[in-house]
């Protein structure tokens, strides 16, 4: 396997009771994550980014489930495995050890009943056989790495004593303490103040390099992508609509949705222009048309877009796009 992770044909089902058919929230998603790559996933809320990542972790719960046709191959320390075929206990050995995750809301991501130390120690105790003293030393060292001041004192604090930025640093410490191969960051800066956001992103970039960890960065913020990622996949309504290297994506944007996203990013200096927004809203799962899922919001919609779904095709080397416009341009 050339990649750290190869996701093939991911589909996520939503169970709606015995009488109704299942709805596919995501389908046909293929992702290849290279070793030490920083991979960005961008899209509006509800487009399926978060559940895609939860399915890598095996953390989807009722009424959501991964479709049996999916395979997620992962190069673990013990060789290549298919994450969707692992038993619960095999998956637990991977979770937190080889694949870690940090979440959007640091204020609620830690158990309010336990000290920071005990929550860091947990991550160690599930995967190592360190004793209390060794764990204390490791936790202390890790807090220093995530640049938490007075780590000694913070260890004995409870989550409600700390600010959002500090808690997110603690979350990063927990995620990286077992030196995982892959870190999934689900909107890690969305809930933070702008000034703190930059600090956290810098910290993540720095640690990623020193730990040799691949990162999947989920965000709705193209600014975050620009600052951290090498490869980007754009999600829309449960599908990938465009995927390319970062420079290619920003400079040779192919999909109308990505263009819209780029246009809606506010840039300083252009104060006089009104804010751009993509009209309409993401369609609901189960109510997708058989055509392109973006057609009713697309400024370049044609008759074909309404009736049949375009495939994800290569428009330039390494640049994939799901749009009839580009396919026709290429074919011609």
> Is 101 an interacting residue with respect to another protein (CB under 8 A)?
yes
Q: CA separation (Å) from 108 to 104, 172, 191, 218?
A: 9, 14, 11, 18
> Is 108 an interacting residue with respect to another protein (CB under 8 A)?
yes
> Is 164 an interacting residue with respect to another protein (CB under 8 A)?
no
> Is 154 an interacting residue with respect to another protein (CB under 8 A)?
no
Longest C-alpha distance within the chain, in Å? 68
Least separation in angstroms between CB 235 and another protein = 20
The number of residues that bind another protein (CB under 8 A) is 30
Distance, in Å, from the CA atom of 101 to the CA atom of 53, rounded to the nearest integer, reads 9
Least separation in angstroms between CB 159 and another protein = 8
> Is 103 an interacting residue with respect to another protein (CB under 8 A)?
yes
> Is 146 an interacting residue with respect to another protein (CB under 8 A)?
no
> How many residues in the chain?
332
Distance of CA 233 to the CA centre of its chain: 10
What is the three-class DSSP state of 228? helix
CB–CB of 117/141 below 8 Å? Answer: no
Least separation in angstroms between CB 1 and another protein = 23
Nearest to 101, CA basis, from 202, 42, 199, 187 = 187
Distance, in Å, from the CA atom of 187 to the CA atom of 234, rounded to the nearest integer, reads 15
Q: Which stretch binds another protein (CB under 8 A): 26-34, 55-63, 193-201, 296-304?
A: 55-63
Of 32, 105, 230, 245, the residue at the interface with another protein (CB under 8 A) is 105
Of 37, 100, 228, 243, the residue at the interface with another protein (CB under 8 A) is 100
The site string for another protein over 126-145 (x = CB under 8 A, - otherwise) reads xx------------------
Least separation in angstroms between CB 202 and another protein = 23
Of 67, 122, 221, 296, the residue at the interface with another protein (CB under 8 A) is 122
Q: CA separation (Å) from 36 to 113, 189, 214?
A: 35, 21, 4
Give the count of alpha carbons within 13 A of 283, CB side only.
Answer: 21
Q: Please report the sign of the dihedral spanned by the C-alpha atoms of residue 24, residue 25, residue 30, residue 32.
A: negative
Segment (H or E) for 285 = none
> Is 62 an interacting residue with respect to another protein (CB under 8 A)?
yes
- When the beta carbons of 94 and 233 are compared against another protein, the nearer one is 94
Q: How would you classify residue 114: left for phi > 0, otherwise alpha for psi between -120 and 50, otherwise beta? A: beta
- When the beta carbons of 109 and 321 are compared against another protein, the nearer one is 109
Give the count of alpha carbons within 13 A of 277, CB side only.
Answer: 7
Least separation in angstroms between CB 181 and another protein = 14
Q: What share of the chain is helix, strand, coil (3-state, %, to 5)?
A: 35, 25, 40
Of 25, 33, 110, 218, the residue at the interface with another protein (CB under 8 A) is 110
Least separation in angstroms between CB 138 and another protein = 14
> Is 190 an interacting residue with respect to another protein (CB under 8 A)?
no
Residues of this chain that bind another protein (CB under 8 A):
57, 59, 62, 88-89, 92-97, 100-101, 103, 105, 108-114, 122-123, 126-127, 158, 160, 171, 174
């Amino acid at each position: 396997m050339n990649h750290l992770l190869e996701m093939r044909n991911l589909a996520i089902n939503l169970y709606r009771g015995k009488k109704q058919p299942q709805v596919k929230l995501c389908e046909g998603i293929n992702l290849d994550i290279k070793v030490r790559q920083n991979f960005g996933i961008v899209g509006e809320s509800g487009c399926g980014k978060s559940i895609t990542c939860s399915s890598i972790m095996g953390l989807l719960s009722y009424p959501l489930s991964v479709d049996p046709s999916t395979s997620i191959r992962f190069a673990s320390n013990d060789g290549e495995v298919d994450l969707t075929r692992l038993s619960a206990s095999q998956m637990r050995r991977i979770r937190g050890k080889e694949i870690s995750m940090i979440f959007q809301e640091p204020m609620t991501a830690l158990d309010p009943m336990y000290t920071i130390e005990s929550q860091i120690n947990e991550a160690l105790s599930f995967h190592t056989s360190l004793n209390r003293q060794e764990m204390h030393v490791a936790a202390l060292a890790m807090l220093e790495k995530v640049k938490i001041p007075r780590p000694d004192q913070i260890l004995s604090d409870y989550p409600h004593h700390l600010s959002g930025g500090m808690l997110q640093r603690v979350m990063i410490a927990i995620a990286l303490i077992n030196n995982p191969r892959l870190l999934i960051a689900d909107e890690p800066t969305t809930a933070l103040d702008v000034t703190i956001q930059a600090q956290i992103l810098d910290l993540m970039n720095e640690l990623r390099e020193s730990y040799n960890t691949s990162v999947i960065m989920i965000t709705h913020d193209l600014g975050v992508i620009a600052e951290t990622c090498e490869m980007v996949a754009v999600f829309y309504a449960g599908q990938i609509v465009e995927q390319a290297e970062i420079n290619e994506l920003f400079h040779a944007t192919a999909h109308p949705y990505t263009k819209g996203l780029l246009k809606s990013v506010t840039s300083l200096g252009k104060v006089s222009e009104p804010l751009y927004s993509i009209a309409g809203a993401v369609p609901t799962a189960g109510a997708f048309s058989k055509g392109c899922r973006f057609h009713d919001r697309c400024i370049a919609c044609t008759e074909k877009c309404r009736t049949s779904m375009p495939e994800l095709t290569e428009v330039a080397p390494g640049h994939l796009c799901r749009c009839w416009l580009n396919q026709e341009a290429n074919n011609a």
